[in-house]
C-alpha cells in the first residue's frame, strides 16, 4: 500500500473517531513522521487537543505518550502495524506501555563490536532520538561518547538509557573476550 493511501486511511480514521477536535495540524506532523520512518509499526495517539504518531523500535522518547496516558482522559491510542494492511487497533494503556518500551536494537543478534557500534551509531544519528524537550544533543556517536549519551538520556528517555547501558556492557564484554582493554567504557 502506498504512503499516500495510508495517510488517507489515517485521515479517515481520525474523522471517524472525531479526534483531534483542536490542533488538527498535529496530523500533518504525524504524516511527516510516517514519511520519514516509513513502513513500520507505530502507536498513534489521538486526543481532543492534538495527535502524536510514535514510531516503534527507534528509541524515540515515550514521554509524551506516557504523560497523556496519565493526564488526558480524551487520549485514545491505536496500533498501526505498517503499510501492508492498515488497521487501527485501539490499545489499552498496558499495551501502549509494552509497545513503547521496546528497544531499537536487538542485542541478541549482535555478535561483534563493529555491528554493535554501527547499530548504536545509526540510532544516535536520528535527531528525533537525540532531542529532549528543546535541547538537541550534538555529540559524536563513537563508543568513547556512549557514557555521555547515557547521561543525556537518564531521566528523559528510559528506553535509550537502557540501550546505552546494554551497549556499553556489551562492548566491554567484547573487549574482555578479545583481551583488548582499550575499548573499555565506564558505565556511569
> What letter would DSSP give residue 59?
-
Residue 133's CB is within 10 A of a number of other CB atoms, namely 8
Residue 132 is predicted with a pLDDT of 74
Query: What pTM was estimated for this model as a whole?
Result: 0.87
The string of pLDDT tens digits covering residues 76-101 is 999 999 898 888 999 999 999 999 99
Q: How far apart are alpha carbons 32 and 183 in whole angstroms?
A: 39
Give the side-chain half-sphere CA count within 13 A for 155. Answer: 3
Boundaries of every domain in the chain: 3-100, 107-183
The string of pLDDT tens digits covering residues 35-56 is 999 999 999 999 999 999 999 9
Amino acid at each position: 500500500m502506498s504512503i499516500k493511501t495510508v495517510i488517507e486511511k489515517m485521515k479517515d480514521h481520525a474523522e471517524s473517531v472525531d479526534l483531534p477536535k483542536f490542533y488538527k495540524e498535529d496530523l500533518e506532523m504525524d504524516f511527516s513522521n510516517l514519511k520519514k520512518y516509513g513502513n513500520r509499526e507505530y502507536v498513534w495517539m489521538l486526543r481532543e487537543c492534538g495527535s502524536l504518531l510514535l514510531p516503534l523500535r527507534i528509541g524515540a522518547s515515550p514521554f509524551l505518550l506516557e504523560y497523556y496516558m496519565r493526564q488526558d482522559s480524551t487520549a485514545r491510542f491505536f496500533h498501526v502495524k505498517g503499510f501492508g494492511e492498515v488497521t487501527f487497533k485501539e490499545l489499552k494503556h498496558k499495551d501502549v506501555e509494552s509497545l513503547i518500551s521496546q528497544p531499537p536494537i536487538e542485542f541478541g543478534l549482535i555478535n561483534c563490536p563493529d555491528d554493535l557500534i554501527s547499530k548504536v551509531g545509526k540510532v544516535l544519528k536520528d535527531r528525533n532520538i537525540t532531542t529532549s524537550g528543546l535541547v538537541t544533543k550534538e555529540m559524536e556517536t563513537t563508543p568513547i561518547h556512549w557514557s555521555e549519551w547515557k547521561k543525556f538520556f537518564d531521566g528523559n528517555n528510559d528506553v535509550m538509557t537502557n540501550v546505552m547501558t546494554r551497549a556499553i556492557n556489551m562492548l566491554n564484554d567484547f573487549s574482555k573476550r578479545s583481551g583488548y582493554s582499550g575499548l573499555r567504557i565506564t558505565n556511569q
